[in-house]
Amino acid sequence: MSTNMADELKKGMVSRGIVKKYTAWFVFGAIILVFVFFGFSSRMSHLSVGSAARVNDSFISVADYLSEETRIQQYYSNMFGGKLDMGMQRQFVRSQAIESLVYGELSSQAAQKEGLNTSDLEVRDYILTKMTFLQKDGRFQKEYYDRYLEIIHSTPAEFENKVRKEIKNTRARQLIEAAFVPMSLEEKKTQELKARKINLAYAHFDQEAMIQQMTIPDVEINAALAKADFKKKAEDYFAVHRAEFKGKGSIKDPKAATEPKANKDGKSDPVDKTEVTEVAWDDVKVQVVKKLLAQEKVDAGIQNLEKALNEKNENAIDIQLKGLNIKWEETGFFDFTVDAIPKIASAQALDGAFELSTQQPLLGRMIREGNQRYILKLKESKTEAFENAATASSTEGTDKSTGELTNRRRADAIYANWIENFKKVSRVEVNNELIKQ
């Protein structure tokens, strides 16, 4: 607001009580966070005379710093019933005053960079209508305004610039908070998802565990070893995956394995006759062949199962599951606001559940999560009515308050992170000598 704007302001400040009222307003509602992540340098040669700090090309004056220190001191003094020991807390208050001013300047510059501007008309309207301590009978008083500027040792341009920054910072925070406020349509959809509950039948197995646990008759193992091509396949597999198998290998020095060994006390330790230096094919060939045969059977069973799923042939699916010794289980009822389906550790399974309906109860594909496999089928669904009006209203009120608090915290975290990221690419210097005085 320029000199011309000031000419439009009417009448004057008449009491010290009004000035005190403005001081309370200038707190801007609540204490500014203690920005512990600020690690300011103190390169005094780069700060102009009379500056408390510098943020890029903007300087924070010592006068603003002293005013902010007084504001924070008054805040804490009121919080502790006037019993704040400034002798012990002075450095903390001064440090917080600097951090508060720098944070505000960073916020303003970050908002400006994102195109958030404040017009002269907005600043004028804010001073004329929002600062009620400058009013009498609901009308702005120019004399009050002029007197206040004298008390805080500020020119109209300087004060209006502070108001401009505060409006800009508030707008940036409100925009971030608005992103976390659910729309009425979203809330309605959430209620619908909570009301609809389903119970899934699911078949689950661990492919690798199934291979390890499968029983292969000795006659099949011997028959496989008798086939030259299969034996060659098994030997090649063993050469690559030797570490997987355990068995009694070839002993390079049988004498060393059977002679007692003296320990550090000169006494003989018991002989370990199972000591081996390497695993031999003959020792583990049965294990190797058993694994390969089990793997073939499991792979074939899964292929047949996937074919039946693609065809949505439930009878064929049941036959294949029985052959693999897999049984159907149930999740129990749940709604679609959950993060994961009960008893099923798979995010993909939740996505698949959305595809199921009474018309298409079977998911036509297998869910894969690492070695885990899931088959899903809608068993039953229901829509629950809301609780009675009083209970529902109370519950919704509590949920809404909790949700608003959670959203506010998320917005605060994102806002702080936004400012911190801007700080990383900014030049920030602080006159630490002011804090030490």
The domain limits of the chain are: 3-178+414-436, 192-206+323-383, 209-310
Q: Please, what is the average pLDDT of the chain? A: 78
For residue 84, give the 3-state DSSP assignment.
coil
Q: What is the number of other CB atoms lying within 10 angstroms of the CB of residue 284? A: 20
Quote the pLDDT of residue 265: 57
Q: What is the number of other CB atoms lying within 10 angstroms of the CB of residue 177? A: 17
Residues 278-298 have pLDDT tens digits of 688 988 999 999 999 999 999
Find, among 435, 421, 434, 408, the residue nearest to 106 by Cα: 421
Q: What's the rounded Cα separation, in Å, for the pair 44 and 429? A: 8
Amino acid occupying residue 61 = S
Q: What's the rounded Cα separation, in Å, for the pair 214 and 298? A: 9
Amino acid occupying residue 196 = R
For residue 329, give the 3-state DSSP assignment.
strand
Cβ(160)–Cβ(123) below 8 Å: yes
CA distances from 299 to 185, 235, 291, 308 (A): 47, 20, 12, 14
Q: What's the rounded Cα separation, in Å, for the pair 19 and 7? A: 21
Bridging pattern class, strands 196-206 and 372-383: antiparallel
Quote the pLDDT of residue 72: 84
Sorted by sequence, the CB contacts under 8 Å of residue 114 that are 6+ apart come out as: 172
Residue 310 has pLDDT above 70, yes or no: yes
Mean pLDDT of 307-328: 92
Residues 230-250 have pLDDT tens digits of 999 999 999 998 888 765 444
> Which of the four pLDDT bands, split at 50, 70 and 90, describes residue 226?
very high
Structure token digits, residue 20: 């005190």
Instruction: Give the distance between the most distant pair of CA atoms in the chain.
Output: 112
pTM to 2 decimal places: 0.43
Q: What's the rounded Cα separation, in Å, for the pair 272 and 314? A: 56
Q: Among the listed ranges 202-216, 257-271, 330-344, which one has the minimum average pLDDT value?
A: 257-271
> Which of the four pLDDT bands, split at 50, 70 and 90, describes residue 23?
very low
Inter-residue long-range contacts of 47-54, CB under 8 Å, 24+ positions, other chains counted: 47/429, 47/431, 51/431, 52/98, 52/101, 52/430, 52/431, 52/434, 53/98, 53/101, 53/102, 53/105, 53/428, 53/429, 53/430, 53/431, 54/427, 54/428, 54/429, 54/430
For residue 241, give the 3-state DSSP assignment.
coil
Does the domain at 3-178+414-436 match CATH 1.10.4030? Answer given as: yes
Cβ(237)–Cβ(288) below 8 Å: yes
Quote the pLDDT of residue 269: 53
| Helix ranges restricted to H, 155-280 | 156-178, 184-195, 207-213, 218-225, 228-240, 254-258
Of all residues in the chain, the percent with pLDDT exceeding 70 is: 73
Mean pLDDT of 127-149: 91
Helix, strand, coil percentages (3-state) for the chain, rounded to 5, are: 55, 15, 30
Residue 125 has pLDDT above 80, yes or no: yes
Sorted by sequence, the CB contacts under 8 Å of residue 39 that are 6+ apart come out as: none
Q: What's the rounded Cα separation, in Å, for the pair 60 and 47? A: 10
Dihedral angle over CA of 384, 385, 386, 391, nearest 10 = -110
CA distances from 407 to 177, 339, 404 (A): 7, 18, 5
Mean pLDDT of 362-372: 91
Q: What's the rounded Cα separation, in Å, for the pair 125 and 1? A: 10
Mean pLDDT of 100-104: 90
Quote the pLDDT of residue 64: 85
Distance of CA 77 to the CA centre of its chain: 36
